[in-house]
Chains A and B, each alone.
Chain A
Amino acid sequence: MSTETKAPKTAPPRAGSLRRSNRVLAFFTIPSLLWYLIFTIGPLIAMFLISFTDWTSIIATPEFIGFENFAEMFNDPRVGTAIVNTAIQLVATVPIQVVGGFMLGYFLSLKFRGHRFFRVVLFIPALISVAQLGTIFTVVFGPAGLINSLLTAVGLEEWTRAWLANESTAMLCIILVGIWSGLGFNSILFAARLSAIDGDVYAAAELDGANHWQRMWRIAFPISIDFFGVVLMLQFLWTLFGSAALILVMTAGGPGQATSTLSWLVYRFAFTGAPSIGYSQAIGVLLFILGSIGLLIIRRAFRQRY
């Protein structure tokens, strides 16, 4: 994304020695390149190939069945539900994570009193793994967990419930955990970017009578719009693909199909119940295509415009 750095200009040496020197340099780079291609590009290609087979489990022999998995996908209500759930999760999580992160980051970058303390607090979720996140919030939302005990303490006992085992609240919990863990780190990212803005620019705007809201959206936002796009891409990808691990720990897609997202289905069809690796990878391909389309749209929409 941000690798447009040009090689430093040096006086061109004689052609023969350049070729020889490049060959020597290749020896330095090839191990890493091969390493990376075998372990990441290789499996990605394999995913596309497997999606055209009826491979059920590891011991079975796969057979090529063309687009059958994809045809089945469009008639499968579980996939339909998962698409709706994924869309809800994205729409509810990503805008708050990114816009909220930008606003918090703007205030952090002003270096108000106590900003150092808030920085540390906002950074903490970035240190917590998805396994820890899922485990902690399973008990926070659990029947005898933090939320219910607080509700009971303030006399709202009738509001208590098993939040994760309830079809109408389970997805809300997953969404809240996503916001809890993503917002803080985004604000640190934005603060890092916005602190590069010269304080004089704000001071001048203040003289012209611009309030914080105007300074935030008329000055800070246009200056950092490309960065806004980068953070948006990160969160979009993380929510789209990364939710499987969180859901695995917290709800396993349940109750019913309340938290079954596309990335969860990739895991579910490969590893649980009667496995169907071919079908799981077909959903993986769908996810990959949706991810690529999303990235292209975000890239287009958030190009630097001045």
Chain B
Amino acid sequence: MVAYIAIGLYAVTLLLPLYWIVISAFKERFEVFRTPLTPSFSAGWENFAFVWTYLEAGTALWNSLYITASALILTLAVALPAAYGLARARGRIGSIVERVYAFGFLIPGFAALVPTLLLAIGLGMYRTREFIILYLSASAQPLAVILLTQFMRTVPSELEESATIDGASRFRIFRSVYIPLVVPGIATVGILQFISYWNEYLYTLVIVGPQPINRTIQVALPTLVSATGNTNYAQVAAGAVISIIPVFVMYLILNRRLEDALVQGAVKG
């Protein structure tokens, strides 16, 4: 009973701010404070229209998508062969390499922010979206490779042996035997990294920067909060809704699959 009340209370605390944000997005500026919990449609879509133009949200969403999709493709293109190599490697070197990847979990991404910025400058890629694509897919390697290796290990080696006897090369085996069999693993890594790339903030802010042509939706959103205390809460709410929708739609579609992917990712990390 106590447990029900506790879990119910926590659920209310979780939902209340989100409910407030969603209804405030459709309100006139001053109504937000006067009637905090009553939904109304007094501003119609006005806040959304303003925020869309002010944030250049179309460009920002495109930048987010461009970075997320490119980094995702690159991550898989590099991690899949690596996982195959590790799953089939015998002897010491294989397990040493696996340790090196596991060590990567212990390095918090934030620690290397400044040196990574210097690397971007050194490569002449400061203020480019391409550098963040390279960086994100590199930093995802430990998690992606280790998850995929576990999936690859479930492929019986007899399959590979019979393919070898048929004269297939390593690369062909990798492409036509392994890839089709580890599609669930690819989906897990894909979902997991999609969320993490889409939601990335600090590195993108520092390296890609806040200029409207390059910035992602995550970098654009906080600019709605004014440092001078003149923030329009209804507009902030509309901006938050716009920026959250893509991931929520994804959750609606994938539901349990997405939960499982995030759980697997967190536990392996």
Contacts and interface: CB of A to CB of B under 8 A. Distances in A.
B224 interface: yes
B218 A129 contact: yes
A280 B114 contact: yes
B212 interface: no
B259 A188 contact: yes
B263 A192 contact: yes
Contacts, number: 273
Given A132-B243, A185-B266, A26 B85 contact: yes
Interface in A128-172: 128-132, 134-140, 142-146, 148-150, 152-153
Contact of B112 (A43, A127, A188, A189): A43
Interface stretch (A66-74, A78-86, A200-208, A237-245): A237-245
Given A29-B89, A280-B114, 19 more contacts: A18-B90, A25-B88, A26-B93, A35-B141, A36-B101, A40-B141, A41-B104, A47-B112, A128-B244, A129-B198, A132-B240, A132-B244, A135-B240, A136-B18, A140-B17, A152-B33, A242-B108, A266-B110, A266-B114
A237 B108 contact: yes
A35 B119 CA distance: 13
Q: How large is the interface on A (under 10, 10 to 19, 20 to 34, 35 or more residues)?
A: 35 or more
Nearest to B216: A131
B116 interface: yes
Interface string B246-262: 01100100000001001
Interface in B1-58: 3-4, 6-7, 10-11, 13-18, 20-21, 32-34, 36-37
Given A131-B201, A135-B225, A32 B145 contact: yes
B73 interface: no
B104 A36 contact: yes
Contacts of A121: 11, 14-15
Q: How large is the interface on B (under 10, 10 to 19, 20 to 34, 35 or more residues)?
A: 35 or more
B21 A136 contact: yes
A75 interface: no
B165 interface: no
B237 interface: yes
A60 interface: no
A168 B134 CA distance: 42
B157 interface: yes
A21 B112 CA distance: 36
B98 A118 contact: no
B115 A46 contact: yes
A281 B111 CA distance: 9
B82 interface: yes
Q: What 10 A-B pairs have minimum CB-CB distances, sorted nearest first?
A: A39-B138, A129-B199, A28-B85, A32-B82, A43-B112, A43-B115, A29-B85, A46-B115, A36-B141, A28-B81
A220 interface: no
A47 B115 contact: yes
A31 B81 contact: yes
Contacts of A26: 85, 93
